[in-house]
Chains A and B, each alone.
Chain A
Amino acid sequence: NAGVTQTPKFQVLKTGQSMTLQCAQDMNHEYMSWYRQDPGMGLRLIHYSVGAGITDQGEVPNGYNVSRSTTEDFPLRLLSAAPSQTSVYFCASSTTGGDTEAFFGQGTRLTVV
């Protein structure tokens, strides 16, 4: 019962570097989302997907790209890391229905220096 798995758990990047945060779920959920968690700001939606091949922007999409080639995977790409992207990133998945539960990964703590 892996649920939502994120890798890596910790990462330090230099400004300008690129990287991909991985997210995989084994619950066959249609919906997947990426959030960032910053002190005093709660969780903010970066990008989301309602199914394979379909993605859309959330509240804070700038500097991030996503793709959804399979139901299971939803990677988040930082094209050119900036210190403002230092944050904790959470991936979530859920099935259809507004009252259903969103399942979260354990988070990736990213520091950009």
Chain B
Amino acid sequence: AQRVTQPEKLLSVFKGAPVELKCNYSYSGSPELFWYVQYSRQRLQLLLRHISRESIKGFTADLNKGETSFHLKKPFAQEEDSAMYYCALSSNFGNEKLTFGTGTRLTIIP
């Protein structure tokens, strides 16, 4: 069975400090991995996907198949980064069945 683990429920970081949100997964095949973000009073939206290898709002995430991890990183946190972050896995050729982690609530301290 596939599983996504986000070990930190809450994470507080000072503005300007580096941020790392951890995500580990278990899946026997080749997964597609994503980070979704939910800002206050907004709908869940895609932040980035591993296959595109892009940086969005200063965030990056590298898929490490050896460690089965997909940690989200940002070198300098900003107050607007405060939100709920979900790591998600898609195991097939479509996104109708996403497996989500339990989420990490990131709070940036001014």
A residues adjacent to B (C-beta < 8 A): 30-33, 35, 40-45, 48-50, 58, 90, 92, 94, 96-102, 104-107
Contact = CB atoms under 8 A, between A and B. Distances in A.
Nearest to A94: B95
Contacts of B99: 45
26 contacts: A31-B96, A35-B100, A40-B9, A42-B100, A42-B103, A43-B44, A43-B98, A44-B100, A45-B97, A45-B98, A58-B97, A90-B44, A96-B93, A97-B94, A98-B91, A98-B93, A99-B32, A99-B51, A99-B52, A99-B90, A100-B95, A102-B95, A102-B98, A104-B44, A105-B43, A107-B43
Counting chain B residues whose Cβ lies within 8 A of the other chain, the interface size class is 20 to 34
Contacts of A90: 43-44
Contacts of B36: 102
Interface string B85-110: 01000111111111111110000000
Q: Which 10 A-B pairs have the closest CB atoms?
A: A31-B96, A94-B95, A42-B102, A98-B32, A104-B44, A99-B51, A43-B100, A42-B100, A48-B96, A102-B95
B49 interface: yes
B45 interface: yes
A41 to B, nearest CB: 6
B43 A106 contact: yes
Contact of A31 (B32, B95, B102): B95
A97 to B, nearest CB: 6
The winner among B43, B45, B86 for most chain A CB atoms within 10 A is B43
